[in-house]
Structure 1
Amino acid sequence: MEKEIFLRTEYITLGQFLKIAGIIDSGGQAKWFLQENEIFVNGELETRRGRKLYAGDKVEVPDMGIFYMSSQNQRK
């Protein structure tokens, strides 16, 4: 599954992304989720919940999908 996430600000953190994408229920679960699961940002393994995601970034969560970050200005 591929999905586009529209950013309302310049960036969001990986922890915020996990909640927005519906992968976790609360921000407090982000640390645990990242310890137990692999997540790739732009093809590289990422474990920091504070990693900033900008428009143009690609986040892959195995078995859950691929997500593309887009700015509000890029909406058609």
Structure 2
Amino acid sequence: MKSEHLTDAEVRAVGWEALVKKLGPAGALRFAMQTERGHGDYAELRHRLLGALSVDQLLAQMRRRRAPVARRRLRKGQREIG
């Protein structure tokens, strides 16, 4: 099959079939998720959401937010994750 004679949609369909054949459905989906381009401007979004916070400040925020969840899990007898 010559790919230059296929439409873009046909190339995607044949490519997906090849991925599924080689990797299985789950592997093909994992591959597709890793290669998806996404959209938007990540750098602008990051600056808008995080501002000028340092890594240490972000970690401190994360730990403060996780602490109540960890305490509830311990009270319920669940082990802490992560």
Q: TM-score range by the shorter chain?
A: under 0.3
Q: Which structure has more helix as a fraction of its residues?
A: 2
- Normalising by structure 1, we get a TM-score of 0.22
Structure showing greater relative contact order (alpha-carbon pairs closer than 8 Å, 6 or more residues apart)? 1
- Normalising by structure 2, we get a TM-score of 0.21
